[in-house]
Structure 1
Amino acid sequence: MAGVTLERLRKVYGNGHAAVDEATFEVADGELLALVGPSGCGKSTLLRMIAGLESITSGELRIGGRRVNDVPPRDRDIAMVFQSYALYPHMTVAENLGFALRLRGAPRAAIDARVRAVAAMLELGDLLDRRPAALSGGQRQRVALGRALVREPQVFLLDEPLSNLDARLRAGMRVEIARLHRQLGATMIYVTHDQIEAMTLGQRIVVLRDGRIQQIDTPMALYDRPANLFVATFLGSPAMNVLRGRLVRADGLRLRRADGSQVPLPDGFRPPAAALEAEVALGIRPEHLRPAGPHAPLQAELELVEPVGNEMFLNLRCGRDALVARTPPGPMPEPGARIGLTFDGACVHLFDAASGARLGV
């Protein structure tokens, strides 16, 4: 296996659009790194640049310490798993798995041994004689993964490989990919728009927006200390609640909102001095927003209760702002009722309203 290093990598198309702008990070040997962001953020373009399927406008790309900017894809010793399974319909599972090795002129006995080893690893041993049309979506995706595994490349590149599967199969395949990574110790770069996939699979996550890296860190570090408002609201399901207004000191700290209402802030909230009298965005995770009595600092109207088994999501309206509270299951008032909400000041995230940058520690 090998590490991957990107230094100020850029991809600019003929119309001047910068799909990837100054991407700099390093993937350690044996690491599973997730690239995540909304559609059009440049994550798949970045993966294709690493694979050699997109040219590099500027910057430097190294795989295993070797500069590969102008190296053809076949000579980079990488394997890529695409969103579409891209299996050959006229070939059996065994033939699909061994196709790349046959192209490289590997001996028949070596191909058979490698195909059977990978098939056993992915629980495909009983399906080797079937063609893709006779397989389920999850089985086809495992064949696509296996086709990459048989080659034993330096780096695996996975471009939204689970997006065509239903929710149950996606959950199962996430476990499968994580198990394979632990078993192989392989270097993997995994592209997804699904933040749950990124959080559960990535040892580290690169968050992208409009071609630029927003933050790189471990999943929980990103969740607990997002660098800006975009990262804060993109990672987490349900998304972080955001209240906007001016931070003022009047009988304690308060958030003065555009409609004139004021939200008293709890004692544990310690904003930096520069944030006072500034326009800010206050972020509160749904699990930190708790229903309370009629004298709670924040009042909202209940719009919808979503029971999901072991917890409930309360969808609320507070003036112009939509809020979500995550609570244990239990009796709740009917939609339209007023609910008081409280939150711990130590759990509040503070951002500059204009730039979205995090304020304070």
Structure 2
Amino acid sequence: MATVSLDRVRKVYPNGHVGVDDASFDIAGGELLVLVGPSGCGKTTLLRMIAGLESISGGTLRIDDRVVNDVAPKDRDIAMVFQNYALYPHMTVAENLSFGLRLRGKQRDEIERRVRDAARLLELENRLDATPAALSGGQRQRVALGRALVREPKVFLLDEPLSNLDARLRLSMRVEIARLHRQLGTTMIYVTHDQVEAMTLGERIVVLDGGRIQQIDTPMNLYDKPANLFVAGFLGSPAMNLLRGRLQRDGQWRLDTARGALALGGLPAQSAALEPWTGREIVLGVRPEDLRPVDANQAVLTATVEVIEPVGNEVFLNLCHGAQALVSRVAPGEVPQRGSALPLGFAGDRLHFFDTASGTRIV
């Protein structure tokens, strides 16, 4: 189980564009770490630098205790799975799995053992004689994983391996990858733009935007305590509701917005941190599940129901509060009518507060 360490790693292109800016983090041996962010955030560039497919402009990259900045990809003992399966169409599954080992001159019995072990792990034992054209999308992706697996590398690098699959297959392959990681205990670095995929797979997640690391934490800590407005808006489906206004206190806390004052209550757990922000512009964050329909006499605000999205075990209410779009996540049952006015309250102990200017978390 290899460790991977990045110390102020940078990528600057010849035109001056900074693809990755001062990335520093450590990956423990056997950890599954996810790099997530929107398109162009630098996550794939960072993965390619770890693989040796992109040069490093600055900083230090180590695999175990070995500096590998200038080490060729083939000498880093890593294996990479790409978005496209890139299988050889004229070869069988067994031939695709063994091809890299044959190129490296491995002994026949060793090749057969590794292919057999990989096929068993990936439940491909009865498909070894099939060509890629005879396989489903999920099976092809498993072959691509198996081709990396037989290498028995120190580190697995996976670059959006599920993005070409449909929703059902993505779900089943997420489970496959998590199961595979648990069985192997190998260090894995996984790149995705899908925040649900990141939350369900990663033991820790690195959130990137504009080439810079925004936050590194466990999935639930990222969800419960986002470091800034970008992380708050990016992680969570539906996204966090964000309301801007001036924070005031007159016995109880309130947020003065363009649509009126929103009563926030006593906020005993947050008051000490919020005190210096009294009278200043802030952003209030409310997760959809914490924006709840209530009786009219308990309402903090009233919004109009615009779109109702029933998704089985929960319902998303898309709301309009003046020009402010909001989303409430509720249990199925008695759902309000589209166009109706809905009184809403906050879960006070679950509110998030951010600095309007910098976007950083206050509490």
**Residue by residue, what CA displacement relative to the aligned partner does 1:262-310 show, whole Å, maximum 9, x if unpaired?**
1111223634212111111100111111101223111111101111111
Give 1:267's aligned residue: 266
Aligned position for 2:329: 326
Instruction: Supply the AA of the counterpart residue of 2:143.
Output: V
Matches within 5 A, 1:206-285: 206-250=206-250, 252-257=252-257, 259-268=258-267, 270-271=270-271, 272-285=274-287
Give deviations 1:92-113, integer Å, cap 9, x for gaps.
1101101110011001121112
Instruction: Give the structure 2 partner of residue 16 of structure 1.
Output: 16
Structure 1 residues 138 and 35, CA, compared in 2 at 3 Å: closer, same or farther?
A: same
Amino acid across the alignment from 2:338: P
Q: 1:64 to 1:251 in 2, by over 3 A?
A: closer
Alpha-carbon distance between aligned partners in 2 of 1:170 and 1:332, rounded to the nearest angstrom: 30
CA distance in 2, matches of 1:117, 1:333: 55
Instruction: Tell me the percent identity.
Output: 67
Report the residue type matching 2:359 in the other structure.
Answer: G
CA–CA distance in structure 2, aligned partners of residues 45 and 228 of structure 1: 23
Equivalent-residue separation in structure 1 for 2:90 and 2:178 (angstroms): 30
- The answer to whether the Cα contact below 8 Å between 1:36 and 1:192 also exists between their aligned partners in 2 is yes
Deviations 1:139-178 (A, max 9, x none): 0000000000001000000000000001111110111111
TM superposition score normalised by structure 1: 0.97
Structure 2 spans left out of the alignment, 5+ residues:
none
Distance in 2 of aligned mates of 1:268 and 1:329: 29
1:184 and 1:146 map into 2 onto residues whose CA distance is 12
Task: Note the C-alpha offset of 1:114.
Answer: 1.1
Q: Which residue of 2 aligns with 1:341?
A: 344
Contact 2:35 / 2:189 at 8 angstroms: preserved in 1?
yes
Within 2, Cα distance between the matches of 1:251 and 1:267? 8
In structure 1, the residue matched to 2:292 is 290
CA RMSD of the aligned region, Å? 1.1
Match in the other structure for 2:107: 107
Instruction: Give the CA deviation at 1:245.
Output: 0.8
Equivalences for residues 1-361 of structure 1 within 5 A: 1-250=1-250, 252-257=252-257, 259-268=258-267, 270-271=270-271, 272-295=274-297, 296-360=299-363
Task: Map Cα deviations across residues 14-42 of structure 1 (whole Å, 9 max, x no partner).
Answer: 11110000000000000000000011000
CA drift of 1:320 comes to 1.6
How big is the shift at 1:335? 1.2
Between the aligned partners of 1:347 and 1:287, the Cα distance in structure 2 is 10
Conserved 8 A contact 2:259-2:322: no
Instruction: Tell me by how many angstroms 1:260 deviates.
Output: 4.8
- 1:332 Cα shift? 2.3
Q: What SS does the corresponding residue of 2:237 show, helix, strand or coil? A: coil
Aligned residue pairs total 359
2:334 counterpart SS class: coil
| 8 A contact 1:266–1:343 mirrored in 2 | no
- Tell whether the 8 Å contact from 2:286 to 2:352 is kept in structure 1 after alignment: yes
Once the two structures are TM-superposed, the CA of residue 192 in structure 1 deviates from its matched residue by 0.4
Q: Displacement of 1:251 after TM fit?
A: 6.2
Query: Contact (CA 8 Å) 1:266, 1:344: kept in 2 or not?
Result: no
SS of 2:296's equivalent in the other structure is: coil
C-alpha contact (below 8 Å) 2:89/2:131 kept by paired residues? yes
Deviation at 1:215, TM superposition (A): 0.5
Q: Distance in 1 between matches of 2:53 and 2:323?
A: 45
Judge conservation of contact 1:293–1:339 (CA < 8 Å) in 2: no
Partner SS for 1:265: strand
* One-letter amino acid of the counterpart of residue 278, structure 1: R
Distance, in Å, in 2 between the alignment partners of 1:286 and 1:256 is 21
SS of the residue aligned with 1:300? strand
Secondary structure of residue in 1 paired with 2:116:
helix
Q: Secondary structure at the match of 2:138?
A: helix
TM-score normalised by L of structure 2: 0.97
Structure 1 alignment gaps of length 5 or more:
none
Cα shift at 1:249: 2.5
Q: CA deviation at 1:334?
A: 1.8
